[in-house]
Amino acid sequence: MNFRVNLLIASVAFSILTMAAIAQQKDDYNTLLVINEYEWTVRLDFDNKLVKATCKVEVMNNANRSVKKLPFVLYRLLTVREVKSGGISLSFTQNIKSFEDQVRLQSNFIPVELNKPLQPNKSMTLELEYDGTLYGYTEVGWNYVKDKIDPNFTILRPDCMAYPELGYPSNKINKQFPKANFNYRVSITIPDSLIAVNGGSLVSANSVNGQTTFEFKNMERAWRMDIAIGKYGRLTDNGLTVYYFKQDSLGAKRVLAALQKTIRLYTNWWGPLNNFKGFSIIEIPDGFGSQADVTSILQSASAFKDSTEIHQAYHEISHLWNVDLKAPSPRWEEGLATFIEYLTIEKLEHREYLNYVTDWFLQVVRREVANDMRLKTVPMVDFGKHGMTDYSYSLGMIAFRILYQTLGDEKFNHSLRAFYKEYSGKEATTEDFIRITKRVSGKDMSAFFNDWFFTTGYIAHLERQSTFEEMVMIYR
Ligand SMILES: [Zn+2]
């Protein structure tokens, strides 16, 4: 055998080995699993600071191969007692593990062994029973995650991994899972003196022997479940609800009024909402971090004391008028919502804000382009596909403000109104939006959409034009 043949055999052998190694590695994890349904039953024991829960999950396998193990992560001080499927116990292991790429982040990692493999495109239901306590994640640097089982205020949420989610002790791998999108039913039992609230709808509240069980279900498919427990008051009007701490009852009235005004403004701009199911704001103490789900916001107390802190609600409420974009969604609706958030400050609070915030976002975008090589080649319409949605907020905000300045207030809103009217409840593409904009405004904006949506042409403008006004002039 000559040298060349040897080399050929060696390289073939090498590639077979590498392929085997890759296949082996692929077997180690599967990020094409999704949860379709959650049924979360929780009981809180404040005397012992304990949470006892069962979580019934329907897991779907979207991979093209079967799986034998389902991986879950759960808060580090929560212990799984039993895992069952169809009434039969399944074997599992559990270990507290540091995330491979974030050492201080520890979670309980629970691979569950299936009795028979879960086939591609099939789903199965598992029941995990667990208990333990919560003590936050401040050691990770997440200062807002100080979640505890405390009668003054308790919050159960994914930030503290209060319920099991599919995943591995690795941010890098977990990022590859599609964004959670599920239906849920939550049932929580707490002492009568307290009230549990959730961003979905309240199904029932039943009191037995000093304990009340609240049952909730989601209104729209959700990506997170939050339950807040405290001494809550409630204000409601036409599907809008504000849950507030009793000492902030005045602020709550202001918040509700702001919600009503926002809905009225957007209805004026973009037409009435189709099948509005409700929206709520849940007050949480300062320092616990505001968060938004599809039909609610966890809003820190500051917004109840200071009316200039309510802009996150503008952002979230504007999302109610979004049209679903065909998968993989470009996710530019985040840029639109961010722009609308600041536009609404100007319109409802009558204070100038847009110019200031535009300059700030321009700086952000310039810095992002300098720091992330991917931005040199990946255009905004592909951010969703590449897991780069974070950039949609900044770049998208600038892009939608340019569009707004170029079309003018009326034609801009009229385009959004026509887009919503034609596509709500259906799926649309970026091209559909462009077509409608052109039809409504009578203006051909294809140069703009090419520069900012379909290519990275905007980078040249960021380099050549120093001010926002100069950038707008290009398309006038
Ligand atoms: Zn958003």
Tell me how far the alpha carbon of residue 258 lies from the centroid of ligand 1, in angstroms.
Answer: 18
State the pLDDT confidence band at 151, using cuts at 50, 70 and 90: very high
Tell me how far the alpha carbon of residue 396 lies from the centroid of ligand 1, in angstroms.
Answer: 11
Tell me how far the alpha carbon of residue 29 lies from the centroid of ligand 1, in angstroms.
Answer: 30
Same-domain status, 378 and 411:
yes
State the pLDDT confidence band at 294, using cuts at 50, 70 and 90: confident
Give pLDDT, residue 398: 98
Tell me how far the alpha carbon of residue 292 lies from the centroid of ligand 1, in angstroms.
Answer: 8
CA–CA distances in Å: residue 184 to residues 43, 83, 230: 17, 19, 22
Tell me how far the alpha carbon of residue 92 lies from the centroid of ligand 1, in angstroms.
Answer: 37
Same-domain status, 79 and 166:
yes
Same-domain status, 310 and 343:
no
> What values do phi and psi take at 9, rounded to 5?
-60, -45
Tell me how far the alpha carbon of residue 336 lies from the centroid of ligand 1, in angstroms.
Answer: 9
Last residue of a domain, one of 168, 191, 224: 224
Tell me how far the alpha carbon of residue 46 lies from the centroid of ligand 1, in angstroms.
Answer: 35
CATH of the domain at 265: 3.30.2010.30
Taking the model in full, what pTM does it have? 0.84
Same-domain status, 329 and 387:
yes
Measuring CA to CA, which residue among 155, 127, 139 is closest to residue 57?
127
* Residue 1 falls inside a structural domain: no
Tell me how far the alpha carbon of residue 338 lies from the centroid of ligand 1, in angstroms.
Answer: 7
Tell me how far the alpha carbon of residue 410 lies from the centroid of ligand 1, in angstroms.
Answer: 23
Tell me how far the alpha carbon of residue 456 lies from the centroid of ligand 1, in angstroms.
Answer: 23
Same-domain status, 403 and 458:
yes
Give pLDDT, residue 385: 84
Tell me how far the alpha carbon of residue 194 lies from the centroid of ligand 1, in angstroms.
Answer: 31
State the pLDDT confidence band at 5, using cuts at 50, 70 and 90: very low
Tell me how far the alpha carbon of residue 317 lies from the centroid of ligand 1, in angstroms.
Answer: 9
pLDDT in tens, 104-114: 999 999 999 99
Query: What's the average model confidence in pLDDT over 379-388?
Result: 90
Give pLDDT, residue 20: 44
Same-domain status, 49 and 187:
yes
State the pLDDT confidence band at 175, using cuts at 50, 70 and 90: confident
Same-domain status, 124 and 240:
no
Neighbours of 112 (CB within 10 A): 21
Tell me how far the alpha carbon of residue 334 lies from the centroid of ligand 1, in angstroms.
Answer: 5
State the pLDDT confidence band at 293, using cuts at 50, 70 and 90: confident
Under 8 Å between Cβ of 155 and 228: yes
Q: How far apart are CA 367 and CA 289, in angstroms?
A: 25
End-to-end CA distance of the chain: 72
Of residues 5 and 230, the one with the higher pLDDT is: 230
Query: Whose structure tokens read 């770049």?
Result: 395
pLDDT in tens, 180-209: 999 999 999 999 999 999 999 999 999 999
What's the one-letter identity of residue 135? Y
* Residue 6 falls inside a structural domain: no
Q: How far apart are CA 89 and CA 126, in angstroms?
A: 10
What residues pack around ion ligand 1 (CB closer than 5 A)? 334, 337
Same-domain status, 182 and 295:
no
Residue-averaged pLDDT of the chain: 92
Tell me how far the alpha carbon of residue 466 lies from the centroid of ligand 1, in angstroms.
Answer: 28
pLDDT in tens, 321-347: 999 898 888 999 999 999 999 999 999
* Residue 161 falls inside a structural domain: yes
* Residue 20 falls inside a structural domain: no
Measuring CA to CA, which residue among 307, 308, 287 is closest to residue 298?
287
CATH of the domain at 390: 1.10.390.10
Give pLDDT, residue 286: 93
Give pLDDT, residue 35: 97
Same-domain status, 449 and 432:
yes
Q: How far apart are CA 368 and CA 370, in angstroms?
A: 5
CATH of the domain at 81: 2.60.40.1730
Tell me how far the alpha carbon of residue 70 lies from the centroid of ligand 1, in angstroms.
Answer: 30
Same-domain status, 33 and 113:
yes
Q: Range of 121's domain?
A: 29-224
Tell me how far the alpha carbon of residue 316 lies from the centroid of ligand 1, in angstroms.
Answer: 6
* Residue 131 falls inside a structural domain: yes
Q: Classify the C-alpha dihedral 365-366-372-378 as positive or negative.
A: positive
**How many separate domains does the chain show?**
3
Last residue of a domain, one of 319, 352, 384: 319
Tell me how far the alpha carbon of residue 290 lies from the centroid of ligand 1, in angstroms.
Answer: 13
Tell me how far the alpha carbon of residue 120 lies from the centroid of ligand 1, in angstroms.
Answer: 32
Give pLDDT, residue 2: 44
Last residue of a domain, one of 204, 224, 244: 224
CA–CA distances in Å: residue 87 to residues 24, 58, 233, 452, 457: 32, 14, 40, 54, 58
State the pLDDT confidence band at 17, using cuts at 50, 70 and 90: very low
Same-domain status, 219 and 175:
yes
pLDDT in tens, 42-84: 999 999 999 999 999 999 999 999 999 999 999 999 999 999 9
Same-domain status, 54 and 184:
yes
Q: How far apart are CA 75 and CA 127, in angstroms?
A: 17
* Residue 13 falls inside a structural domain: no
Tell me how far the alpha carbon of residue 353 lies from the centroid of ligand 1, in angstroms.
Answer: 19
* Residue 298 falls inside a structural domain: yes
* Residue 132 falls inside a structural domain: yes
